Structure 1
Amino acid sequence: MADLLEITAARREFVTPEGGRLAALDGVDLTVGANEFVTLLGPSGCGKTTLLRAISGFEMLDSGTMRLGGADLTALPPFRRPVNTVFQSYALFGHMTVARNVGYALEVAGVPRPARDGQVAEALEKVGLSGLGARRPGQLSGGQRQRVALARAIIAKPRLLLLDEPLSALDRNLRQQMQLELKTLQNNLGIAFIFVTHDQEEALTMSDRIVVMRAGKIEQIGTPRDIYRRPRNRFVAEFIGETNLFPVTVDRIEGDLALARTAEGVELSLPSSGRSVGERITAILRPADFTLGREGIAGRVTRAVYLGSDLYIFVQPQAGGPEIRVIARDGAGLAEGAAVRLAHDPAQVHVLEAA
C-alpha cells in the first residue's frame, strides 16, 4: 500500500499555566496508506487530538514535517489542505436543511445549483440518507446527524478524512452499528480515514492499524490483532482490553515448554524458545485464554459477572497473588466461592518484558 501521509519528527509544545512547556507531540513519526483506516488511541492528554489538528492545519507544528501525496503540508493553512474533518459535535447548521448543510462548501465555492444538487444527492445516498434532504438537523436522530456530518465531509472528495471521536455522543447500540457502517463507508469511498478515540472496542473493530499514544509519543503501531495479542510494553497491554500480568521466573525447561512461577507459586507453561532457567519475565494471558478444567491453576471464584453469552469471573489463586480475570464460556452454574482450575494453552502466553 502506497503511503499517502508521511509525518516525520512532529513536535508541538504548549505553555503551561506555571510558565513551563508541555510537549503535546514529542517526535511523532507516522505514515498512513492511501486507502487505510488508522485509529489514534490513547488516554486523555496523550496527544491524539493535537496530532489530528496538526494534520488538518488547525495546529501548526513547532518542528517536523508533514507530507500528503508527496506535497509538503507543514506550513499550509487548513483551507488549502485536501483534508476534511468530522468533529465530535458534528457542527451542523440548525437553520439549514440537511441538503444545504451537506452542500454548503460547494455553495461557498460557487458550484452551480444543478451540479451541487447532484453531488448532494450522491453524498446522502452513500451515507444512507436518501430522501431526507429537506429535513433540518433537529428533526433527525443522533445517528442520522452523524451521517449528515459524514456526507458534508466527503462531498468535496478529500484525499484524507479526519474523525475526532464522532461516535462518542451515541448510545452503545448505535455506536456499534455506526462502527461497522463507518468501516464499510471507508472501503466504498476508497480514501484514508484517521479516527481519534479513547474507546478500545471502536479501535479494534474498525481499524486496519492502531496507533497507541501516551504523553505525546507513539507507544506502538500495529494491526488490531498485533496490538491485542503482542503488546510491546506494559502500558499497551493494560490499556488495550483486559489482561492478566504475571511476573514470573523460569523454573525449568522441558522440551518445547518452559515452566515459570510467580513469587507466590502460580505456575505457567510457555514456549521454551528463547527462554533460559532463572530468567525473570512478565507474561500476559487475556481472560479468554483460560479454560476451566481438571488441571491447571487451582483457585476459588471471588466474583462472577453475567455477560449474556459468557460469565466473567475473578479467581483468587490458591497459591496467592493477584486475582486472575477469566471469561468462562463453559462456566454455567459457577457461583462465588466455587473451586476451579484454570488451564491455558502455552502458545497463547505472550512474553511482555523483563519482570
Structure 2
Amino acid sequence: MPAPTREEIRSALETVLDPEIRRNIVELDMVDEVDIDPSGHVAVTVLLTVAGCPLKDTITRDTEAALGKVAGVTGVSVRLGVMTPEQRQAMREKLQGAGTSREIPFNAPSSLTRIYAIASGKGGVGKSSIAANLAVSLAANGLRVGVVDADIYGFSIPGMLGISGNPTRVDDMIIPQVAHNVKVMSIGMFVPPSQPVVWRGPMLHRALQQFLTDVFWGDLDVLLLDLPPGTGDIAISVAQLLPGSELLVVTTPQQAAAQVAERAGSIAVQTRQRVAGVIENMSWLELPDGSRMDVFGSGGGDTVAANLSRTVGAKVPLLGRIPLDTEVRSGADVGAPAVLSAPDSPASVALRSIASQLGTRSRGLAGRSLGLSPA
C-alpha cells in the first residue's frame, strides 16, 4: 500500500480538536512539521499554546488516533513543541481579532447567542443548581453553551459542575474550562474555595467585563449568567454590558419569597431587559406513597409570573415547577448535575422540559444580514 499523501494527513489532523479552544489544530496553526516516510510512518510536530499544557496527553492521543486511521499509515510519532510569543499572538488575533481593546462579542449585530441572566430576589432558592442543570441540559440537546458564574461573592458553579484548577491563559486571552460540554468561567477558578472576595462595585463590574471580553467563548448558542441574589451591582452591570440579555426569575412557592422575586424581575422595567420567564423551584416533595407535600406552600410561581406580566407590560410565562429532589443536591455536591446522573428523577424531568423551551425559542432578525441586494 502506498504511503499517505500530505493532503490525507492534513485532513486527518483537521479532525483533532484543541480540548480547551474547541477548534482543530490545523486551523489554530498548531501543526508545525509533518514528515511522511516512504514506509508509511508519519512524524508530526504539534505546538502547544503554553508550556506544560494540562491537556497535552489528550492532544497527543487524539493526534495518534486520527493519523492511525489513514490508509497507508504504518506508524505515528507525535512531537510536542511550544508556540513562540509571535505565534500565540497570531492565534489570539485569529480568534479574537487584532488590538488590545476588544468589544463584547455577544453584542455584535451578527451574534445569534441567546443570553439568559438567572436572577432571584433572595438567596437559597436554588438558582445556581438550576443554572448548572439547565446548562448541561441545553448542551445535551446539541447546543453550544457557556456559563458565567456572575455571583462573585457566592460562586458555586465550578463545584456543581466538577471543575477544579485554573483556566489556561494564552497571553491576555483566557480559555474557559469545559465540563459536560459546557464552557465555564468563574472567579472561583482564581481563588481558593475558602477565600472571600472582598470587592466593591467597580471591581465587580470589571471582573464581569473581563469574563465577557478576555475569555474566548467561541460561537455559542446560549450563554447563561448565574447572578447573585437581589438587584445590586452585578444585576446593573449585566444590563449595561449585555443589553440584549433576558431575565429568568427563580422563586419558591412561598408567598414571601415570591414578593422578593418580583423585585428581581421588575428591574427589567428600568434596565429595558426582557423577562423570559419564571421558574418555581422546590414546588413540592414527593412522598413514598405517591402523594405530594407542599413544603413551602403553593402558587408563588404563578403569582410572580402574573404580577411581572402586569409590571413589564408583556406576557411573562411560568416555564415550569421543579420539585424538591435529593438527586439535585447530591449531584451538585459531587459535580455531576442531576439531569445527567439521575435523568429520570422528577426534578431532572422538569429541568429538561424548561431547557427545551429555552433552547427552541426563535431568535430575532435584528442586526442580521438577509443577503439581499438591489435588483
| The two structures share one fold, judged by TM-score above 0.5 | no
Work out which of the two has the higher radius of gyration on C-alpha atoms and give 1 or 2: 1
TM-score if structure 1 supplies the norm length? 0.29
TM-score if structure 2 supplies the norm length? 0.28
| Higher helix fraction (1 or 2) | 2
